[in-house]
Amino acid sequence: MSVLAIVEQRMAGEVLTAAKQFGPDVKAYSIDLPYTADAYTAAVEELIRKENPQLVVFGHTYQTRDYAPKLAARFGRVLIGDVIAGKPPVFVRQMFQGKFNADVRLVGDGPHFVSIQAGAWRAEGSPQAEAFSPSPTTSRQVAEAPFREAARAVDLTAADIIVSVGRGIKEKENIPVVEALAQALGAELAASRPICDAGWLPMDRQVGSSGQTVSPKVYIAVGISGAIQHLVGMKGAKTVVAINKDPDAPIFEVAHYGIVGDLFEVVPALVEEIRKTK
Ligand SMILES: Cc1cc2nc3c(=O)[nH]c(=O)nc-3n(C[C@H](O)[C@H](O)[C@H](O)COP(=O)(O)OP(=O)(O)OC[C@H]3O[C@@H](n4cnc5c(N)ncnc54)[C@H](O)[C@@H]3O)c2cc1C
């Protein structure tokens, strides 16, 4: 199968590794333009018409999600997004925020469009892609200076121990339950994305594909299910401890130690035991 890999700086290595597994005949390009959805759609459309690939592969980035569905529609196709495994003709993609995995089969002639999730393929070697300068087109959009994140107040990457809280905590008023564990251990407090999205903890405490990537000595995940977007941010931890009331929660697949139980009972008991040792 002929594969066209569209490479951004983010996830470049992962996209190339995946593309090589999808087909032996891979051409990799980066788009040599400031990003706008209009400009990228036109540029990649031009590339596809030039290279005539059967499969187009992207990283599942914010940028891809912005323009690739429109691009796919131009070829009468859909974007198979959030792909975490598989190869042509069957890809595995996440649905309902990672609650279910679906097998999706390619049917008919290409080009087909696939975007791979961060962390699903491991980057190998140094990524190389040709910069593509498209023919000039009229665009309705004008690129502004790229958004720069504000400096982070909290550097979780330097922490030896992290206690991370997820939606199992149920409401903001309960955050002190896990905060007490972090304090008792001298740990940094972190969170899954829904906790930061809800404003229960600041954004710079988020761990995962759209947050910080951490590799502490100990990572304690409290009431966190273990969605792939969270796992990619913490799977470098030396020791992972998971506290979750669901014995089938995916977090237990990466945990070295697991406690199946209600965090509102387990965490205060742990805090009490830790305090006794001081
Ligand atoms: C593009 C994209 C980027 C994303 N980026 C990130 C990211 O950077 N970081 C991130 O974390 N997520 C990210 N997500 C979201 C991710 O897919 C998950 O939705 C999220 O990680 C789930 O958070 P959670 O585990 O806290 O919540 P849930 O999945 O709702 O899990 C809550 C867990 O708590 C357990 N629980 C409930 N009550 C109790 C109790 N009393 N005691 C013990 N356990 C209990 C449940 O069994 C469950 O396993 C992203 C999603 C997308 C689409």
Distance of CA 235 from the midpoint of ligand 1 (Å)? 15
Is 53 a pocket residue for ligand 1 (Cβ < 6 Å)?
no
pLDDT in tens, 94-118: 888 667 889 999 999 989 999 998 7
Between the CA of 224 and the centroid of ligand 1 the distance, in Å, is 5
Q: Model confidence over 50-109: pLDDT tens digits?
A: 999 999 999 998 899 999 999 999 999 999 999 999 999 999 998 886 678 899 999 999
Quickly state the pLDDT bin for 148 (edges 50, 70, 90): low
Q: What's the rounded mean pLDDT across residues 105-132? A: 89
From ligand 1's centre to the CA of 48, what distance in Å?
37
Handedness of CA 38, 40, 45, 50 (dihedral sign): positive
pLDDT surpasses 60 at 149: no
Lowest pLDDT segment from 36-50, 68-82, 105-119, 159-173: 105-119
Q: Does ligand 1 come within 6 angstroms of the Cβ of 94?
A: no
- Name the residue at shortest CA distance from atom 27 of ligand 1: 167
**Angle (CA) 1 52 75, round 5°:** 105
Mean pLDDT of 120-133: 86
The reply to whether ligand 1 has any atom less than 6 angstroms from the CB of 17 is no
Q: What is the pLDDT of residues 187-200, one digit of tens each?
A: 999 999 999 999 99
CATH topology of domain 156-276: Rossmann fold (3.40.50)
Q: Which of ligand 1's atoms lies nearest the C-alpha of 225?
A: 49
Number of the ligand 1 atom closest to the C-alpha atom of 243: 43
Residues of the chain with pLDDT > 90, as a percent, come to 74
Atom of ligand 1 nearest to the CA of 246: 47
Q: Which fold has domain 2-132?
A: Rossmann fold (3.40.50)
Q: 193 CB less than 6 Å from ligand 1?
A: yes
**Ligand 1 proximity of 259 Cβ (cutoff 6 Å):** no
What is the distance of C-alpha 143 from the center of its chain?
Answer: 25
The yes-or-no verdict on residue 150 having pLDDT over 90 is no
Residue length, the chain?
Answer: 278
Domain extent listing, the chain: 2-132, 156-276
How confident is residue 211, by pLDDT bands cut at 50, 70 and 90? confident
**Ligand 1 midpoint to CA 149 (Å):** 23
pLDDT band at 232 (very low <50, low <70, confident <90, very high): confident
> In this structure, what token pair is assigned to residue 103?
């097998």
Ligand 1 centroid to residue 71 C-alpha, Å: 31
What average pLDDT does the chain have?
Answer: 92
